[in-house]
């Protein structure tokens, strides 16, 4: 086995098929999107070369700009919720729970494996106001807080935040498990030494735990950022971008532009913009992590 691992040609033979498949599945669509973004219309039907006009039009398109602003709000809230709550839950797994750790970890992780449509239907029922109150409005009614009862998904002022709560709930278990994997790698001797030196509570987390699990947190942050920037399935299943365009993300605007209105070129330009956003976000996180 050791001889095989030293043989670079053998390693290349094993890796090459997977690498070729990866290039076909990932990079070929990206290249096609770049090519399509230089044209207008639909292939086979008035498909004309327009150069960079699609990219220039992005900055003049009020609907696109609105979707970017909505997406940024969503990213800010959901990333903070997923990473923050995920880290707190992982601390609870390691330092707080004394019994039933495996059972509780399983329960917390369970929403992650639920289909997005199932999660969306669940929260649609929770937020329901007609024909009968859902769980949230029923709870408010029981607590005599009827003035808070409202159609959470039916009005622009609350729909985005209701969507954020659903997506945070679904993903917290994933990030808790990722951070838990980093926390259990910290030697017990390190924690005990820090406690003997007087570090406890917030000081222990800030000065000892956070620096040691920083690489894991960076990984989680990149996953959360790129996932929320590309958010589509949960939005489509829960709000379909509505009411109006109050929850329309960039990815949904891209989908509508390309497949509903047949503007493949402009839709491809929006797709390249999303890719650029993900690359920039990843680069900024990595640069800040190195500087710190």
Domain boundaries defined on the chain? 61-291
The rounded distance, in Å, linking the Cα atoms of 180 and 167 is: 20
How many angstroms separate the CA atoms of 62 and 141, rounded? 40
- The pTM for the full model equals 0.90
Q: What's the pLDDT at 11?
A: 76
Q: Which of 255, 256, 274, 272 is nearest to 33 (CA)?
A: 272
Half-sphere exposure of 266 (CA within 13 A, CB side): 23
**pLDDT computed for residue 7 by the predictor:** 66
**What is the structure's pLDDT at 104?**
87
In the prediction, which pLDDT does 4 show?
Answer: 52
Helix boundaries (H) for the chain = 2-6, 8-22, 28-36, 53-58, 62-91, 101-113, 116-126, 135-142, 156-183, 188-196, 201-204, 210-212, 214-229, 233-238, 250-255, 264-291
Decide if 247 contacts 87 (C-beta within 8 A). no
**CATH superfamily of the 61-291 domain:** MetI-like (1.10.3720.10)
Asked if residue 166 lies in contact with residue 234, where contact means CB atoms within 8 angstroms, the answer is yes
Which residue is associated with the tokens 């109150």?
133
pLDDT of residue 47: 80
Regions of the chain with pLDDT less than 70: 1-7, 291-292
């Amino acid at each position: 086995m050791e001889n095989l691992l030293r043989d670079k040609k053998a390693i290349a033979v094993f890796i090459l098929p997977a690498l070729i498949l990866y290039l076909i599945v990932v990079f070929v669509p990206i290249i096609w999107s770049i090519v399509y973004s230089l044209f207008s219309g639909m292939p086979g039907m008035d498909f004309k070369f327009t150069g960079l006009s699609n990219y220039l039009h992005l900055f003049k398109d009020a609907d696109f700009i609105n979707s970017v602003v909505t997406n940024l709000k969503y990213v800010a809230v959901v990333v903070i919720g997923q990473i923050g709550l995920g880290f707190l839950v992982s601390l609870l797994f390691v330092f707080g729970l004394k019994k039933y750790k495996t059972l509780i970890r399983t329960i917390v992780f369970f929403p992650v494996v639920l289909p997005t449509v199932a999660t969306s239907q669940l929260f649609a029922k929770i937020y329901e106001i007609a024909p009968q109150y859902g769980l949230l409005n029923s709870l408010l009614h029981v607590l005599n807080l009827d003035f808070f009862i409202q159609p959470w998904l039916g009005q622009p002022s609350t729909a985005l935040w209701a969507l954020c709560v659903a997506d945070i709930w679904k993903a917290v278990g994933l990030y808790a498990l990722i951070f838990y994997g980093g926390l259990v790698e910290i030697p017990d001797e390190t924690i005990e030494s820090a406690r003997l030196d007087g570090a406890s509570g917030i000081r222990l987390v800030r000065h000892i735990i956070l620096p040691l699990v920083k690489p894991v947190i960076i990984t989680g942050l990149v996953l959360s950022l790129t996932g929320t920037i590309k958010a589509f399935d949960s939005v489509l299943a829960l709000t379909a971008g509505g009411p109006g365009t109050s929850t329309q993300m960039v990815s949904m605007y891209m989908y509508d532009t390309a497949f509903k209105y047949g503007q493949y070129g402009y839709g491809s330009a929006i797709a390249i913009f999303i890719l650029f956003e993900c690359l920039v976000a990843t680069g900024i996180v990595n640069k800040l992590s190195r500087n710190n």
